[in-house]
Amino acid sequence: MASTSTAETSDAAAAGLRSPYAGYVYAYPHKTAYRPLAPAPALREVWAGQDVSALFLYLHVPFCEMRCGFCNLFTRTGAPAALVGRYLDALERQARAVREAVPQARFAVGAIGGGTPTYLEPAELERLFTIAREVVGADLAAIPLSVETSPATATHDRLAVLAAHGATRVSIGVQSFDDAEARAAGRPQRRAEVEAALAAIRDTAIPVLNIDLIYGIDGQTEASWLASLDAALAWRPEEIYLYPLYVRPLTGLGRRAVTRADWDAERLALYRAGRDHLRSYGYEQVSMRMFRRADAPSDADTGYRCQRDGMVGLGCGARSYTSDLHYSFDYAVGIGEVRAIIDEYVTLDQAAFSHARVGYRLDAPERRRRHLLTSLLQADGLDAAEYRARFGSDAAHDFAADLAPLADAGLVAIGAEVPDIRLTEEGVAWSDAIGPALFSAETAALMDGYRPR
């Protein structure tokens, strides 16, 4: 297998980056930086004065049929039907509290994640959509809507509910088409089950299919990795996400704590092989992880911008954003702690849901930093004019000390020839190191002070 070149590694080291896999930055700040809000502010106050004309609605279902060995998401397995019903009851109470606090909310984008949303039975999925439509006031059939699923739960009856309510994208976590690799990643499944699920999704004719795959699994080779990619490409998915395997505390793989000295080089080589393979089949790279088929249908421009616009999250694993406060519920990974948080959530009354309980307040510098991070980690990079219009300053100047070492190492492009700020091709490969390196000292300290549980 090819390895990372010495020059590339030394350039990254010169920028202060030791490993290309420090952590996946999908939101800033991470929930491990959240702390209890005392006093807990009323949602009406939290959202007062905010632009609520183009929000993201996220519905969280914290249940799965099994917990994969690499998973550190907020989810529990084997939830009995009675608990699922109580959870939906609580989510409806939360939705009513949000609607009272933000009655003018308008939603431009929607997503249902988890966990595995399709763990719910068809009637339970129907109820979830009813809550979104009749309680929250979101017309999910009129906006881009993404829903996550798994091979075991992507059944025709569940998918029919998603299609009937306007789902425009289904994302399925396959991870590997090789049964032995799937087991090594702590996800026992059979390829036949995966293929049946993909067939069911295509039969439902939801416009966008995304397939998640993982590289860096023990025993995986470049040949087996490319074989999984080819198996995915056979379905002509509109999107493919390539995830590096992480071994995190309190997960199944984390308890085994097996890593290899050359693992970074292996993962980087597999990433490059996968990236180049997808490009050769007409896929465009959107970020380190995301690849979109060049001829795939595009969602209508809703006007939503994650750097600027807010998010309403419903469910005990969901987070919500305003311009200056990110809030959620308590966060955990361990099985017992997750169950305790869900058990508390289902007992809360509407009054309790009317306040933000745990969160992080963003001052002006942190709002600028979040805009930088959420832009830079995408292939398009940061739009300098948009940043200047929003903040009245120049991003390259505001973050000169952070960006200069990355630019010197050839990981970030800034300058007259590139009016925006963006990652170079090698910078994209090192996204999971560059993101954490750009965290503020205050946020990093809070995250370091979080006790995994």
Q: How far apart are CA 103 and CA 145, in angstroms?
A: 21
Cα–Cα distance measured from residue 213 to residue 66, given in angstroms and rounded to the nearest whole number: 18
Q: What is the pLDDT of residues 26-47, one digit of tens each?
A: 899 999 999 999 999 999 999 9
Q: How many CA atoms lie within 13 A of 130 on its CB side?
A: 9
Beta strands (DSSP E) in 305-425 are 311-314, 320-321, 325-328, 358-361, 412-415, 418-423
Q: What is the pLDDT of residues 314-358, one digit of tens each?
A: 999 899 999 999 999 988 878 888 899 999 999 999 999 999 999
Rounded to 5 degrees, φ, ψ at 171 are: -115, 125
Q: Which domains does the chain have, with CATH numbers?
A: 364-448 (1.10.10.920)
pLDDT > 90: percent of the chain: 78
Q: Report d(CA 72, CA 248) in Å as an integer.
A: 7
Q: Are β-strands 311-314 and 418-423 bridged in parallel, bridged antiparallel, or unpaired?
A: unpaired
Residue whose token pair is 């994969």: 68
Which pTM value belongs to this model? 0.93
Given pLDDT bands bounded at 50, 70 and 90, which one contains residue 2?
Answer: very low
pLDDT by residue (tens digit) across 200-242?
Answer: 999 999 999 999 999 999 999 999 999 999 999 999 999 999 9
Q: CB-hemisphere CA count at 13 Å for 327?
A: 22
